[in-house]
A and B are shown apart, each in its own frame.
Chain A
Amino acid sequence: MPDLFEFLFKYRRLVYEQGDFVFAAPAVVRWWLLAAVAASAVAVASYSLARGKASPMDRTVMATLRVALLGVLLFSLLQPTLQISTVVPQQNFVGILVDDSRSMQLPDASGAARSDFIRATFTPGESELLEAMAERFSLRFFSFSSRARRIEGPGELTFDGTSTDLPAALDVAREELSGVPLSGLVMLTDGADTRGRPVTEALVPLQAAGVPVFTVGLGEEAVSPDIELGRVEMPRAVLEGSSMVVDVVVTQTGFRQTTVPVIVEDDTGILAEEEVTLGRAGEPVVTRVHFQLDRVGSRRVRFRIPTQDGERVTQNNRRDVWVEVRGEREKILYFEGEPRHEVKFLRRAIQDDDNLQVVVLQRTAPSKFLRLNVDDGDELAGGFPRTREELYRYRGLIVGSAEASFFTHDQLQMIADFVSERGGGFMMVGGRQAFSEGGWAGTPVEEILPVRLGPPPAAADRFLAELRPGLTPAGLANAAIQLGGDAEETDSLWRTLPPVTSVNRITEVKPGATTLIEGHAESLDRPQVLLAHQRYGRGKVLALTAQDTWIWQMHADIPLEDQSHETFWRQLLRWMVDGVPEPVVASVEREQVEPGEPVRLTAEIVDSTYIQVNDAQVTARITSPTGAIQEISLDWTVERDGEYTADFVPTETGDYEVEVSAARDGLTVGTDALALHTARSDDEYFGAGRRSRLLQRIAEETGGQYYTPATVGTLPDDISVTGAGVTLVEDRDLWDMPALFILMFLAMGAEWAYRRVRGLV
């Protein structure tokens, strides 16, 4: 009730908050007042001592009311005053920042757009608010969306920006007005920041400079009815033919318990469709979509929900995600310490997968090796790699049943570095010589394993258990071990697989590791960890404790046409080497940008041993959609070893191809390619409700105020008393505020009424 407060106390609450309370009465008056107090005491005494019809209770009540009256009078005579700093008219500047993005065109329930308020309230000559501000301040206007710029007035606004960057807007306004006395910044926006940059970065300098920000929140908190396809989590690059499980987050208002389809499609047609039943208003619902990408190249995958009747915003029903479908053949080294069926069946499982090459180094006798799938006669001719250059040629490494003592300490360290530095994928497969049984505890490789190894068991305590596999919740959500078209089918298929055996008793994973498959047996008090993984350094580590997954292929209960075993290994190996870096890794912050929006191209360069190099010559060859070629150099950033950057501005709409190559001492280190897409963005239509909390926070942290269109009328006065800039101290009398007169009237009236009721008059 700000109006009532102002009526009773003469000024608004904000004035009281900003001012200092003092009594302004001169000392001589105080002496008189003291005399008056003494007289009041006498009067009270007379009430008490008088003899008549009045009872002691009556006299107490009447004396109290009379003293209260004298108290209020005394308070007024002391001349209560608020001392407040107010800006000097026309001596200060105020920056007015107006959101110029597309979301300002969204209509509210009445059909009025957010931009209508700006036009009505900030058009010169038509707005009392603007005139009131212009009387006191010199106004400077800024528009902001993806970038902020100074404008002459609201007439230059187009409300067509495709993103909103609140921190950048505050930075630009602060810097532009840094040379003038600034009373504050006024920011008119829905608060829907689409860039996601922390706003704190922009608030700290404002706090230091003492510049308050007054925010005006436009639009509704929730746009209703509406369905929004909020978030899609997808890797940037996948191997051709890889199965994918993508989480899609859907939120809604006004469509509770409605079932809608989530459709996934690319240029070739529909890839998948999943029904999702929507939850409560504002509550995100996650649905999981399974599909496969088969064609090599940069692919746009669209997720969409058909527009429902009555939806207010239709543009937020779809999301486009770009993904690079890679056709390379991933080379994996499988070292197996003893001849066993697992090698054969793993090779069979992936034999039809053109994207996987498993090179087998099979130890058949203590000093005898069999090499399979090697590229030439020299590969692995000396046995297991002894140098990093040799090992790092592979993107994945599997070690089967081989004792740790087979390897030198350098080789063990090299395996650990293969994961942590090179970023390769590593898997240890169960067997007689794997894990603790193979003496791996205490080695550098144990450090990288996701499971805890116990002490080596005594020969008499040989463990052997038949384990029935079951997926954990994390396993159900992991694309690598999906056997069916959806989670239910996958769960069901895993439950029907026959048991496998393990000779490595492992029940615990390390902190940060995840168990994907558990093995259950009635004889065991705790489930066995059958498959676990964790990230280690730049790479990924898996522990598969079963020794005979080939049972999932051979078992009599498994139909001949069943593909569970093949699918398991294909997907697991693809996942193991997914995202393994090459010597040159090029990236951009976002694969899709606006035409004309600057893009920072980053490349990370390492040598053949995956040590960052800072003296490489790195160039990017950029081919525009129309075929124009531009070559730019990338420079070492100095802040990070091996990191090179360059900025460029794509001006055309369409697909850009970027090829980054690095050379050192005249020798090529490597190349990498990426695709960049330029198009108008629909980001502004997502999360399009007013972000009141963010705007309140900006105001509170800078000493400003938060308003809505209904409360913004006090903005000029508020800036006057809370603002910075050139100010003077002003005394504001409080003795004449209505509240004091009302109190005196009430005290007198109450005494009179009491006397009437009690028959004392």
Chain B
Amino acid sequence: MNRPAGGAWLRVPLVTPRCRGLALGCAVVAGFAISAAPSDAQLRFRREAPSVESNNPGYDGLFQFVRLRFSSGGGGGGGFGGFGGRREPPWAHDYPRAERNFLRILDETTLVGPRVDASNILAVDDPELFKFPIAYIVEVGFWNPTDEEVEALGDYLNKGGFLIIDDFRDQRGEWRNFEFQMRRVLPGSNLVQLDGSHEIFDSFFRIEHPERFVTATYRGLPPLYYGIFEDNDPTKRLMMIANFNNDIAEYWEFSDRGYYPIDLSNDAYKLGVNYIIYSLTH
């Protein structure tokens, strides 16, 4: 593992020179958003109703954010469907503000040069997904894919796709559902817990203790990071990373609202940037 030249380190809470740049980036995001924000105090849990495929920009050679859409009542893992009380489907949490804000930060801090004016929502079995080798999925505790979706996602990951899993916790059997569905997608694979020594936490920012990033909304549940390695070989690439007891997109979504400390928002962005850089290079 080679530490990147000039790489910054994350110590929570700690703001390095690089972090200051990121903080400035957060401020920029805030600046964009505040002008359009109707009422900060009331927005915390008010989600925008997501529109779907019609807004997909389509592949144009640039990096684009892809959020996976799913129905929670599909195939056989059963019993975890539905999402208590919210108006939006579970896969749409934090959409679209989370990715919009994150893409601006990604554009500000790296040379990825993503498309910042739009992002994609794709079904798991949509052939278009294969044109975007990095995908993001949330609330997998309620994910219940069909057999076709399982097969498609398995092909996607085995061909070289990378999946970022976010926003699920050790409650209501969410872990069991996630584990069960991943075994359907990648039979024989092992979910391995990752610590700060893994290079995904050093691909752009140095994040020495990712476990210290505690999500306020999960009321102190210990954040854990799980991955599946290609061929179950830890020397090979990660095919996915799961933020368990964690919800980094929550911070992306509200980084311009002032609900969370700016350092925590920074840390959430750092994790996201690292995931993207890692998956673009590994």
Residues of A in contact with B (beta carbons under 8 Å apart): 337-341, 343-345, 347-348, 351, 360, 362-372, 374, 377, 381, 383, 432, 464, 501, 503, 547-548, 550-551, 553-558, 560
Contact = CB atoms under 8 A, between A and B. Distances in A.
12 contacts: A338-B111, A344-B237, A345-B160, A363-B111, A365-B109, A367-B6, A370-B277, A371-B2, A372-B2, A432-B113, A550-B160, A554-B159
Given A348-B160, A368-B6, A555 B60 contact: no
Contacts of B204: 364-365, 368, 370
Q: Which of B2, B129, B158 has the most CB of A within 10 A?
A: B2
Contacts of A553: 159-160
A689 B127 CA distance: 64
A46 B242 CA distance: 134
Contact of B277 (A339, A371, A556): A339
B199 to A, nearest CB: 9
Q: Which of A371, A381, A547, A556 has the most CB of B within 10 A?
A: A556
B2 A560 contact: no
B165 to A, nearest CB: 19
B85 interface: no
Contacts of B63: 340
Contacts, number: 101
Contacts of B6: 367-369
Contact of B4 (A370, A551, A554, A560): A370
Contact of B110 (A339, A432, A501): A339
Interface in B114-161: 127-131, 133, 155-156, 158-161
Interface string B265-282: 000000000001101111
Contact of A368 (B5, B158, B161, B236): B5
Contact of B61 (A343, A348, A464): A464
Contact of B237 (A337, A348, A366, A551): A348
A314 B279 CA distance: 60
A370 B203 contact: yes
A369 B203 CA distance: 10
B237 A340 contact: no
A556 B155 CA distance: 9
B30 interface: no
Given A360-B281, A464-B60, 20 more contacts: A339-B112, A339-B280, A340-B63, A343-B280, A348-B237, A362-B281, A364-B4, A368-B6, A368-B204, A370-B281, A381-B5, A432-B113, A551-B131, A554-B130, A554-B133, A554-B160, A556-B127, A556-B128, A556-B129, A560-B158
B145 to A, nearest CB: 17
A560 B159 contact: yes
Contacts of B111: 337-339, 363-366
Interface in B209-238: 236-237
Contacts of A372: 2, 281
3 closest cross-chain pairs (CB), A and B: A556-B127, A556-B130, A339-B280
Contacts of A343: 280-281
A459 B236 CA distance: 40
Contacts of B160: 344-345, 348, 550, 553-554
B82 interface: no
B63 to A, nearest CB: 7
Contacts of A339: 110-112, 276-277, 280-281
A329 to B, nearest CB: 17
A538 B61 CA distance: 35
B7 interface: yes
A372 B203 CA distance: 10
Contacts of A362: 281
Interface of B is mostly: loop
B155 A560 contact: yes
A503 B113 CA distance: 14
B282 A364 contact: no
Nearest to B2: A371
Contacts of B60: 464, 501
Nearest to B203: A370
A530 to B, nearest CB: 15
Contacts of B159: 553-554, 558, 560
B133 A340 contact: no
Contacts of A501: 59-61
B222 to A, nearest CB: 29
B133 A344 contact: yes
Nearest to B8: A368
A709 B109 CA distance: 89
A560 B4 CA distance: 33
A267 B110 CA distance: 54
Interface string B86-129: 00000000000000000000000111110000000000000111
B119 to A, nearest CB: 17
Nearest to A374: B2
Contact of A555 (B112, B131, B236, B282): B131
Q: Which of B156, B159, B161 has the most CB of A within 10 A?
A: B159
A557 B130 CA distance: 9
B189 to A, nearest CB: 15
A333 to B, nearest CB: 15
Given A338-B111, A338-B113, A365-B110, A371 B5 contact: yes
B252 to A, nearest CB: 19
A313 B282 CA distance: 59
Nearest to A546: B61
B267 to A, nearest CB: 18
B282 A548 contact: no
Contacts of A550: 133, 160
Contacts of A365: 109-111, 204
The CB with the most chain B CB atoms within 10 A, among A347, A370, A381, A551, is that of A370
A347 B111 CA distance: 20
A299 to B, nearest CB: 32
Contacts of B156: 554
Interface string B158-185: 1111000000000000000000000000
